């Protein structure tokens, strides 16, 4: 149990530790795990209240197409994104993200010392490339920050065929999933480390996303699986179902 806790970066609570133990063949309940973790003094990290960076743009905002319904029936139906601030000894670093609401996989991210449209465009481009450019019709939900209402970002959305959606001003719950990722990143990684330079922060955050969050961190919205594992299992299951249907039709 202690080894599983340490493997999570000392961030997992009892539900995720239970998932890890069951995957390894243990027959154990979440309540038992919670009690044992309490005895060992193993506790996940508590979240802090996030501070908004949203500065509303002057250009017209897109309509809210999501209305807090953060559920997608398949990959690349609905994405969300946001910009958050990382503190380093060298100064502030801003991180822009793009997350698939189907699996909670972080498809795109970009970091810069500037909080602007170029940063948001870079994260969107990475997300599109991650999906091999096949993203026409994807809804991308954000707040009404100036980086998302900027002409340059709107042009990038048109290029990829991405449809913009925006929540209301000053309402974090309208973009709750993106805000939740920011909190997870801060609580489970950023607030536990000190970054001497922006370059160090870039490398370590990118590594945490690629080597832990997307590939190993269990997510409740993905049936308790890591995002990429969840996508792979769902795709395999759907492919098998399609193959069986074709066999029945052929018969």
Q: How far is CA 170 from the centre of its chain?
A: 21
At 251, the pLDDT band (50, 70, 90 cuts) reads: confident
Q: Residue 161 domain-assigned?
A: yes
Mean pLDDT, all residues of the chain: 88
- Could you give the CA distance from residue 251 to residue 135 in angstroms, rounded to a whole number? 35
pLDDT, position 60: 82
Instruction: Identify whether residues 155 and 208 lie together within a single domain.
Output: yes
Range of the domain at 140: 78-222
Buried b (16+ CB within 10 A) or exposed e, 113-136: eebbbbbbbbbbbbbbebbeeebe
At 8, the pLDDT band (50, 70, 90 cuts) reads: low
Instruction: Identify whether residues 40 and 95 lie together within a single domain.
Output: no
Q: How far is CA 10 from the centre of its chain?
A: 19
Contact (Cβ atoms closer than 8 angstroms) between residue 144 and residue 167:
yes
Using alpha carbons, list the distances in angstroms from residue 217 to 12, 36, 106, 142, 233: 9, 21, 12, 24, 16
pLDDT average, residue stretch 234-240? 93
Helix (H, G, I), strand (E, B) or coil at 95: strand
Q: Residue 3 domain-assigned?
A: yes
pLDDT at 117 exceeding the cut of 60? yes
Instruction: Identify whether residues 84 and 150 lie together within a single domain.
Output: yes
Q: Who has greater pLDDT, 127 or 49?
A: 127
At 2, the pLDDT band (50, 70, 90 cuts) reads: low
Q: Who has greater pLDDT, 66 or 55?
A: 66
Instruction: Identify whether residues 151 and 200 lie together within a single domain.
Output: yes
Instruction: Identify whether residues 121 and 195 lie together within a single domain.
Output: yes
pLDDT, position 17: 66
**Residue 85: CATH number of its domain:** 3.30.420.10
pLDDT at 33 exceeding the cut of 80? no
pLDDT, position 247: 87
Of 34-48, 169-183, 214-228, 236-250, the poorest mean pLDDT is in: 34-48
Cβ burial of 218 (10 Å; 0-12, 13-18, 19+) is: buried
98-111 pLDDT, tens digit per residue, is 999 999 999 999 99
């Amino acid at each position: 149990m202690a080894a599983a806790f340490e493997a999570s970066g000392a961030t997992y609570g009892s539900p995720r530790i239970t998932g890890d133990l069951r995957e390894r063949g243990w027959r154990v309940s979440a309540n038992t795990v919670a009690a044992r973790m309490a005895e060992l003094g193993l506790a996940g990290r508590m979240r802090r209240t996030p501070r908004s960076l949203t500065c509303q743009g002057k250009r017209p905002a897109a309509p809210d197409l999501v209305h807090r319904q953060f559920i997608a029936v398949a990959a690349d139906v609905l994405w969300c994104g946001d910009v958050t601030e990382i503190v380093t000894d060298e100064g502030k670093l801003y991180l822009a993200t793009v997350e698939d609401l189907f699996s909670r996989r972080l498809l795109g991210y970009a970091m810069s010392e500037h909080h602007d449209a170029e940063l948001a465009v870079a994260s969107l481009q990475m997300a599109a490339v991650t999906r091999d450019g096949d993203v026409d019709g994807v809804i991308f939900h954000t707040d009404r920050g100036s980086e998302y209402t900027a002409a340059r970002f709107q042009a990038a959305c048109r290029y990829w065929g991405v449809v913009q959606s925006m929540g209301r001003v000053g309402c974090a719950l309208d973009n709750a999933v993106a805000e939740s990722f920011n909190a997870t990143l801060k609580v489970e990684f950023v607030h536990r480390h000190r970054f001497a330079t922006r370059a160090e922060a870039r490398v370590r955050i990118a590594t945490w996303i690629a080597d832990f969050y997307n590939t190993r961190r269990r997510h409740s919205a993905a049936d308790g699986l890591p995002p990429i594992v969840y996508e792979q299992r769902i795709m395999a299951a759907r492919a098998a179902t399609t193959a069986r249907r074709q066999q029945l039709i052929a018969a």
